[in-house]
């Protein structure tokens, strides 16, 4: 019964939003609604053997995005992955964003609702429909949680400091593995600084992985624009806890080099390393003993000179050792993706 109610909600959404849009236009308040879809052919192999359950034609993602203003100082955003709705999940499990933002001044805003767990890294900054290759740690740390975010921006708009209080990304994992529920939280402080060709995204994070026990993260995302056509991203993350060595025992580094000769073509190469030699079980996303390197590259083509239609090809290869038997990346692991992404603008 619930799946039919969800289907009716999705079908009725454009009509309901259209009525809201007409009302907002009278007050000069914008509203935007669009659907994003991506389909592709994937081929995956581990140690030369094809992983048949992950190989073939498939729909990769379908999501809906709605955003607009309620008044001069209040706005909202909502994004939901429709392909994640199933009988084993709640409606809100497939919601990435659902938040209300209050901006009393041009320098300060407060957000309440579900949003990404803020981390200083460029590799997970794109939305899921635009992500082709990320590290093992990023794929195992849940990205979206309920909470509060305060934003403070300088007058020149070059720097923003964000403070976040949210549910811990490891809260559900703790409940699943122990059978016990608990209130667990994450605390983040982020600096987003944009100074000419250099754009920083740095953070300090404290993630509660068990009640009263925290894993700390220092994440330094660095983006450099080398002229009009070349962009370089370098991300570094160090993870630690009070009873382990601080530096380079549990860490990740990633780099991406992109070349955009024109508005229609983007070619890129990416490499990452995830290593955990801490000797502890504090890191729930990258287990102790793991040492993984992933290299790859891709090409994106936009035939319409905008972002509404994209063709892509991507290949990556992973080698090393993953101590998580349920991890995403394996040793001698190759992945090929050929696909198309399109955006359906309703409003």
Q: Quick one: pLDDT at residue 4?
A: 40
3-state secondary structure of 58: strand
For residue 250, give Cα distances in angstroms to 75, 96, 180, 282: 39, 28, 27, 10
The span from the CA of 278 to the CA of 249, in Å, is: 5
Q: What is the pLDDT of residue 253?
A: 97
Whole-number Cα distances in Å, 121 to 12, 68, 248, 277, 306: 37, 27, 17, 22, 26
Q: What is the pLDDT of residue 11?
A: 44
- Res 23: pLDDT: 46
Residue 121 backbone phi and psi in degrees, to 5: -160, 140
CA-to-CA dists, residue 307 to 29, 32, 87, 168, angstroms: 24, 16, 33, 34
Query: Which pLDDT score is estimated for 87?
Result: 63
Query: Which CATH class for the 2-345 domain?
Result: mainly beta
With residue 2 as reference, give the H or E element that holds it: helix 2-26
Asked whether 133 and 298 are in contact (CB, 8 A), the reply is yes
Helix (H) or strand (E) holding 173: helix 171-178
| CB-CB contact of 320 with 291 (8 Å) | yes
**pTM (2 decimals)?**
0.88
Q: Per residue in 291-345, pLDDT tens?
A: 999 999 999 999 998 999 999 999 999 999 999 999 999 999 999 999 999 999 9
Can you give the residue ranges of every domain in the chain? 2-345
Looking at residue 62, its pLDDT comes to 96
The pLDDT of residue 245 is: 72
Residue 215 makes CB contacts below 8 A (sequence gap 6+) with 206, 207, 209, 239, 240, 241, 282, 283, 284
- pLDDT averaged over consecutive 10-residue blocks of the chain (347 residues)? 41 46 54 96 96 95 96 96 79 92 97 96 92 94 95 97 97 92 95 97 96 94 96 96 82 97 96 95 94 98 94 98 94 97 95
Asked if 184 contacts 174 with a C-beta cutoff of 8 angstroms, the reply is yes
pLDDT at 171: 94
Residue 28 falls in which region: left (phi positive, over 0), alpha (psi -120 to 50) or beta? left
Q: What is the pLDDT of residue 312?
A: 98
The Cα-based distances of 150 to 110, 111, 124, 194 in angstroms read 5, 6, 21, 19
**pLDDT tens digits, one per residue of 133-163:** 999 999 999 999 999 999 999 999 999 999 9
């Amino acid at each position: 019964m619930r799946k039919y109610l969800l289907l009716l909600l999705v079908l009725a959404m454009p009509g309901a939003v259209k009525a809201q849009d007409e009302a907002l236009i009278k007050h000069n308040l914008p509203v935007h609604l669009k659907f994003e879809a991506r389909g592709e052919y994937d081929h995956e192999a581990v140690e030369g053997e094809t992983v048949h359950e992950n190989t073939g034609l498939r729909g990769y993602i379908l999501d809906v995005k709605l955003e607009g203003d309620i008044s001069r100082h209040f706005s909202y955003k909502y994004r939901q992955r429709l392909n994640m709705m199933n009988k084993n999940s709640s409606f809100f499990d497939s919601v990435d964003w659902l938040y209300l933002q209050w901006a009393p001044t041009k320098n300060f805003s407060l957000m309440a609702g579900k949003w990404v767990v803020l981390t200083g890294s460029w590799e997970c900054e794109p939305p899921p429909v635009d992500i082709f290759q990320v590290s093992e740690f990023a794929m195992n740390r849940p990205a979206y949680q309920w909470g509060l975010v305060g934003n403070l921006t300088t007058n020149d708009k070059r720097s923003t400091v964000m403070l976040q209080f949210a549910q811990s990304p490891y809260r559900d994992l703790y409940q699943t593995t122990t059978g016990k529920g608990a209130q667990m939280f994450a605390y983040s402080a982020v600096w987003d600084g944009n100074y000419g060709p250099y754009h920083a995204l740095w953070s300090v994070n404290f993630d509660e992985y068990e009640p009263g026990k925290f894993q700390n993260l220092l994440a330094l995302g660095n983006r450099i624009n080398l002229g009009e056509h070349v962009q370089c991203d370098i991300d570094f993350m160090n993870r630690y806890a009070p009873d382990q060595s601080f530096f380079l025992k549990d860490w990740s580094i990633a780099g991406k080099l992109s070349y955009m000769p024109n508005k229609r073509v983007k070619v890129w190469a990416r490499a990452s390393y995830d290593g955990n030699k801490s000797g502890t079980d504090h890191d729930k996303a990258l287990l102790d003993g793991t040492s993984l390197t992933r290299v790859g590259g891709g090409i994106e083509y936009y035939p319409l000179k905008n972002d509404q239609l994209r063709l892509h090809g991507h290949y990556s290869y992973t080698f090393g050792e993953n101590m998580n038997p349920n991890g995403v990346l394996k040793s001698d692991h190759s992945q090929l993706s050929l696909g198309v992404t399109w955006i359906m603008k309703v409003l």
